[in-house]
Amino acid sequence: MIPVLIIWLIRRHRQKTNKQMKGVAPKGPKGYLPSIMLLLLIFLILATKGHGQSKTLTYQILRNGNQIGTLKFSESATGDMDHLKMESDVKTKFVFTFIAHASEEAVYFNGVLLRSSIYRKLNGNEKVNKQHEAKDRQYIIHAGERSEVTKNYPITYNMLSLYSKEPERIGSVYSDNFQTFIPIVKTDLHKYKVTLPDGNYNYYEYKNGVLALVEVHHSFYSANIVLIN
């Protein structure tokens, strides 16, 4: 579609130029070159912005070297909107069978969180179901039938964002679950530690700007989330 529009505009430009140049010695083909190049540049920029960008990352969840689950993260950006999404499934056994499902979403507009959701289920029972919605420079948090307001505005980097970009110059991350900002501590080159309010903590390690490994340290277990593609 874009090439057709470019050709059409070039023809219109030539027709308009021919009308304006009646009675004046015609210019050679080079006379059209700057205008044509400008049109091509404009449409290439519009085409790139209009189509946006997207990426998908797939991870294995490992415990004691054995795969116990998968995690998929996707991001799509169009214009000023950035949509992040993550889903994970885990099945393992401690004393009893442990089946967990989690899904998270976040939508940013001009770099500020517009809305988000976090959902977690354990062995068929809902554990977390919470949504954030930006309104009047504050966030309304919905949790089941309850709603409350937090003034943690603006949120520009939440826990899901850790899968999107390395927090090189970011000092804290917002937890949708705990509804608070948490410090990000750099422990090594491209490696960061996030300690949650409940005492559990994770390490996030990046390679070439992409999250390659998450080390999960929970009071009852530890696991690694490893990038596979």
90-118 pLDDT tens trace: 999 877 888 999 999 999 999 999 999 99
- Contact of 119 with 139, CB cutoff 8 Å: no
pLDDT of residue 19: 53
Residues of the chain with pLDDT > 70: what percent? 78
Find the DSSP H helices in the chain.
2-20, 33-51
**Which residues are within 8 A (CB) of 218 and not within 5 positions of it... i.e. 6 or more apart?**
200
pLDDT < 50: residue spans in the chain: 1-9, 24-27, 29, 31-33, 38-39, 41-50
Question: How far apart, in Å, are the Cα atoms of 119 and each of 101, 127, 132, 146?
Answer: 8, 8, 12, 15
Pairing of strands 112-122, 210-217: unpaired
Mean pLDDT of the chain: 86
Contacts of 150 (CB under 8 A, 6+ apart): 138, 139, 141, 179
- What span, in angstroms and rounded, lies between the C-alpha atoms of 76 and 82? 6
The residues with which 72 forms a beta bridge, in sequence order, are 58, 87
Q: What tens digit of pLDDT does each residue of 165-195 get?
A: 999 999 999 999 999 999 999 999 999 999 9
- Non-local (6+) Cβ contacts of 143 within 8 A are 129, 130, 131
pTM above 0.85?
no
Per the CB < 8 A criterion, the answer to whether 111 and 155 are in contact is no
Alpha-carbon span 128 to 118, nearest angstrom: 7
